[in-house]
Amino acid sequence: MGSTEVTFFPGDRRGGGEFSADTQTAGSVGLLIQVALPCALFSTTTTILQLRGGTNAEMAPQFDYTTEVFRPLLERFGATFDYKLLRRGYFPRGGGEVHIRVNPVRQLKPIKMIDGGKILRIWGWAFVAGTLPIKLASVMADSATVALQRAFKGVEINIEAYKEREEDAVGNGSGINIVAETTTGCILGASGLGKRDVRPEQVGKQAADDLISTVETGACVDPHAQDQMVVLMALADGISQVKVGPVTQHTETAIYIAKSLSEAKFNIIKQGPNSNIIECTGIGLLNPV
């Protein structure tokens, strides 16, 4: 607390292997993956991550977002990961568990995503767990569907509602995840978590409104994917370009850190009041595997 400076002395990259991390709370498993993934991609052998904590937590990507939105983006760079979801965990107890398998890459490819295209289809799922009734999931799914149908007439929309099995989740939780695919192959996501003082129809509608706002900017990635792309662009071999909406503070921070720790060069090209292209000349990190 109160620290104003960080000094980093990098050591030699080590090989893969098995690693475990447990937040012992509902701390986000998705954020643990963000921290470990770049290192695992450039290790010398396969890496297994055994992660415990919150799979669906506030102020962090839900694990569903990581697998359904972020992973397809990662695959554009020529990398991926396999996963096994053993158990979900929610606020405040946590207790979720996820296993991640990452094979190393020789080098990341640059990407070019500057045409958002048109919405091709939208799918998603609303869930409840523990003692919460499935009716809450149905209300979230229905309210999101209505809002999306108004915005995207003629587009296939399928949001299912379900209840987690007792053995597959720890504690009570509810939420919604929405994914949209465009005609140019862009994958956009939006999500929301149920709260005691927020009606389920509000949760569903807000998630839908967030997705609609992203689409209106013509972006190729949603606001939550922006900053997650920065480290990959910085490591890739060549010039990457990604069209986004307004640049978030998370993205500005990620760019600042990437530039501080590497020789990657970034440029924000303004396209309009709510549209930008993030351009990066990556360092082309080479893995001696």
- Say if CB 21 and CB 37 are below 8 A apart: no
How is residue 90 annotated by DSSP? B
**Roughly what angle, to the nearest 10 degrees, separates helices 134-151 and 200-216?**
30
Q: Which of 71, 109, 163, 250 is catalytic?
A: 250
Instruction: Annotate 30-54 with b (16+ C-beta within 10 A) or e (fewer).
Output: bbbbbebbbebbbbeeebebebbbb
- Tell me the C-alpha distance between 58 and 263, whole Å: 33
Residues 6+ apart with CB under 8 A from 15: 43, 44, 45
Answer yes or no: 224 catalytic.
no
- Tell me the C-alpha distance between 232 and 199, whole Å: 38
Mapped onto helix, strand or coil, the DSSP state of residue 279 is strand
Determine if the peptide bond prior to 92 is cis (ω within 30°). Answer: yes
Give the H/E segment covering residue 120: strand 119-129
- Tell me the C-alpha distance between 140 and 58, whole Å: 17
Partnered with residue 157 across adjacent β-strands are 122
Q: Which residues carry out catalysis?
A: 250
